[in-house]
Structure 1
Amino acid sequence: MADDVREWLTDLDLVKYIDVFVENEVGMRDLPAINDGDLRELGLPLGPRKRVMAAIEALADEDEAASKAEQDLPGVEAERRQVTVLFADISGFTALSERLGAESTHELLNRFFAVADDAVLRFGGTVDKHIGDAVMAVFGAPIAHTDDPERAIRAASALHAAAQAMDPPLAIHAGVASGQVVASRMGGEGHQEYTVTGDSVNLASRLTDLAGPGETFSSADIARGLGNRVAGVSLGPRPIEGLPEPVE
């Protein structure tokens, strides 16, 4: 896979558009979030737009295949990893499920998890588990990228949009946190799954609880690392259940 957008566009025989991408600060990590409207705004005509969108889809397929292949590997030993954890939960799910009934709720959850998993895999993450009406995803294990925190935030943003596009539209609230975890396969002989454990998992879960519908809360270290690449506001220090000090 190309490491630089210049090389990537050259491989697509679209050298003439390199300056457009560079001038607009569009790099490889931005490609998963690019859509046809963005390319139109950059001035690309129909043919090149189709080529770029097909290549972006191929990149997503490569990441998804790599994630699935890594998750299927047997006998992964426990190891410490630096990861970013994403939790996303359906807002108002209890009232919604009471209104829909058991069968319709089950069908809705399956559709929600499908779009959630797609958002995670599209940005190179690993779906750790589904818990009730929530999804937990990991960026950085078993596959690591230099920009895993940004990938997690962009996956959360994509999931907000995808959930809103569902029928009925769903609002979600999400939490994102980075830190050291222990990654391994857990379980008995009958069933094992790749998962991570550590304080960042708990923090991401707690941040999700604090976030309101349509919101993604992340710790300040993630926001500082992203700089102005992702819009956000500081909410100041907040007490987090189970942690000795407030978290900003």
Structure 2
Amino acid sequence: MNQERVLIVEDEPQISQLLIDYLHAHGYQTQYFSSGAGLIDWLQKNTVDCVLLDIMLPDADKFGDGLQLCRDIRQFSAVPIMMLTARIEEIDRILGLELGADDYLCKPFSPREVVARVKALIRRSRFTPEATLQNGVWNLDEATYQVHYQQNKVQVSAVEFAILRTLSQAPGCIFSRAQLIDSIYHDHRVVSDRTVDSHIKKLRQKLCAVFGENDWIQSVYGVGYKFVLPQ
């Protein structure tokens, strides 16, 4: 029997039961919370393979909404998190992913799609890649969203990690903003070029703050960005 367990945090009984039924039908075990009450304490004592986390939760002023809970979980766990919400504004998508969420799905959604994404998130979380650049001093740790270079490491967001992974897998190749957007978001949402530029600016700042002024991510005017190997 499949021992993988999915934590569902959803206050709408019909939605939560539908998710539970579909996940059970595909062999997953589940744990359910209708709000953030007791969630963090439980998660620190128990192991799950994926978290489905609704943004709008009851008693958010006491126990936190989904975004706050996502931030809290990321303080101690790299478990895959998929945000579930009725909000469709781009700012919520960006904020959710920058807080450390791995995926984002808007309601109404197909439970089959949820199961497919859960499978993909769990599979990806258990894949430990070799160093992206085989030079002995550079490594991207997908399990923790950390970049390792010359005995130092820096924590980046899920979005920043996806950008850096895409660029560094093909050093010297130029990626357009549209290509980078496709590497971050897989649901064909509309995201502006300014959003990509903002993510890359923050990523550069984090890398330079820890690793020094290596200009690894270079702008190519009118085209996009490219990654240059650390010297």
Task: Answer whether TM exceeds 0.5 for this pair.
Answer: no
Say which structure is richer in helix: 1
Q: Which has the higher contact order (CA 8 A, sep 6+)?
A: 1
